[in-house]
Amino acid sequence: MKAAIINLGSQYTHVIWRTMRDLGVEAAIHDVSASSEILDFFDTYILSGGPGSAHQDKYPSAERLIKNTASQKSQKPILGICLGQQLVAHVLGGKVERGKSAEYGTSTIEVDEEGALFSGVPKKFTAWVSHFDEVKKMPDGFIRLAHSDTCEIESMQHEKLPIYCTQFHPEVWHTENGEKILQNFVEACGK
């Protein structure tokens, strides 16, 4: 399996790359302006976090990938992390706004539905969060997988399409079971 990590400006993008390599996935980091010719070579996509805004900034390659999977033009799985989750929600008609308070540090995540990402993960765990905006309303067809005291939608996935998202950062060492969550995504890509 070959994964393209679309760098939306996260300071953790290289950590995603390293974790994917540790899981046996051939991975490469690409800019948000990467062409279709380059990205179509990959089997799956990970949209990193970043300091930007899903509804104010433009991320052409990431937006195209989301639309292609949502329209079933492509069946290639997508994992959106932090800004990646917000971008998925925004592009597909959800609502992204400022959260009650900016989050930076650890938070207790509570799993509501196991979905594809939380198999073998405790119902409560500590994760690293770093964001101002958050998904306030999921797009049609999505289910909430997890929440926290400060963020109602810490994780979501589409009911039928291979689109998975987390608001928190599973790639950083501060997140308990983070590698397991990413491994679950990798396994979901193979199904």
What residues are annotated to the active site?
82, 169, 171
| Cα separations in angstroms, 129 against 26, 51, 102, 167 | 26, 13, 9, 7
Amino acid letter, residue 147: H
Sequence-distant (6+) residues with CB within 8 A of 57 are none
| Cα separations in angstroms, 112 against 1, 56, 105 | 29, 30, 22
- Determine how many CB atoms are found less than 10 A away from the CB of residue 90: 22
